[in-house]
Structure 1
Amino acid sequence: MTVPAFNSVAWFEFGTDQPEKVKEFYGELFDWKYVLNTNTPGVTYHSVMPPGAQQPTGGVWDSEGAFPDYAVFYVLVQDVAETVERGRGLGAEVLMGPVSDSAGFAFARLRDTAGNHFGVFSVPAA
């Protein structure tokens, strides 16, 4: 299994109030399968499993109408808090985080100086 390099795009996410439609469309288009992720209590999140993948590469978050639909990419970083502070120093707006789930993944979302929404994440220490 290949581990993504730090500072590379390594995850994507859809936030939607119509998760079944999103999963059906992309499942049929790309033959994706979905696995319910239970690491964040109170959140309905399905991990995306592309054909032949040994681990998920993205997710579908059921927003339940709490926010507008979106699709966003995440960059794998060594330290989420440090990256958020560096981004803030460069003029980024912090939209969420840093937060961690029960499995030890840390993540945050920012808006760059041109208005683009993106995320950063780190994996639990081995």
Structure 2
Amino acid sequence: MAENNALNTVAWFQIGTEDPAAAHEFYGGLFGWSFAPDPSSGPGYDLISYAGTERPAGGVMSTAGGADNHATFLVLVEDVAAVCTRTEQLGGKVLNPPVTTPNGLVFADLLDRSGNRFGVFTPPSA
């Protein structure tokens, strides 16, 4: 994920939906995107690829179980915890504090001062 992106740029996006099949049909039909299960995430998360890219650029997450449907962008950062602190200093909120996945990906979900949701992440070390 995000191997060719510069720090502090939008490097990933995610669509959360209780009906992933409908999202696949909609976005696949609209933009020609393709979808494949993410082998490192397990069931409920599919990678999004589109023409002209070598690697997936986003994901579709199943929101079954009460999570809100959403579409959000994620920014590649050097230090997720530091960005969480700075977000709060600037009047935003940390929705979900930094989490580290088994493969080393670190991410957090944030809100800007207007209530818009976005995420930040640092990819696993090479």
Flag structure 1 segments of 5+ consecutive residues without an equivalent: none
Q: Which residue in the other structure is 1:72 paired with?
A: 72
1:38, CA displacement in angstroms?
3.5
Structure-2 separation of matches of 1:117 and 1:82: 18
Aligned mates of 1:25, 1:116 — CA distance in 2 = 23
Query: What secondary structure, in the 3-state scheme, does the structure 2 residue paired with 1:99 have?
Result: strand
**CA RMSD, 1 decimal:** 1.8
Partner of 1:30: 31
Segment of structure 1 superposing worse, 28-37 or 18-27: 28-37
- Work out whether residues 4 and 10 of structure 1, in 8 Å CA contact, stay in contact via their aligned partners in 2: yes
Matched with 1:83 is 83
1:107 equivalent in structure 2 = 107
- TM-score w.r.t. structure 2 length? 0.90
User: Aligned with 1:34: secondary structure?
Assistant: strand
Check whether the contact 1:92–1:113 (CA below 8 A) recurs between aligned residues: yes
1:60 alignment partner, SS class: strand
Percent of aligned pairs sharing the same letter = 41
Confirm or deny: 8 A CA contact 1:32 1:49 kept in the other structure: yes
Aligned length: 125
Moved over 6 A (4+): none
1:65 positional shift: 4.2
Structure 2 gap ranges (5+): none
Quote the residue 1:123 is aligned against: 123
TM-score w.r.t. structure 1 length?
0.90
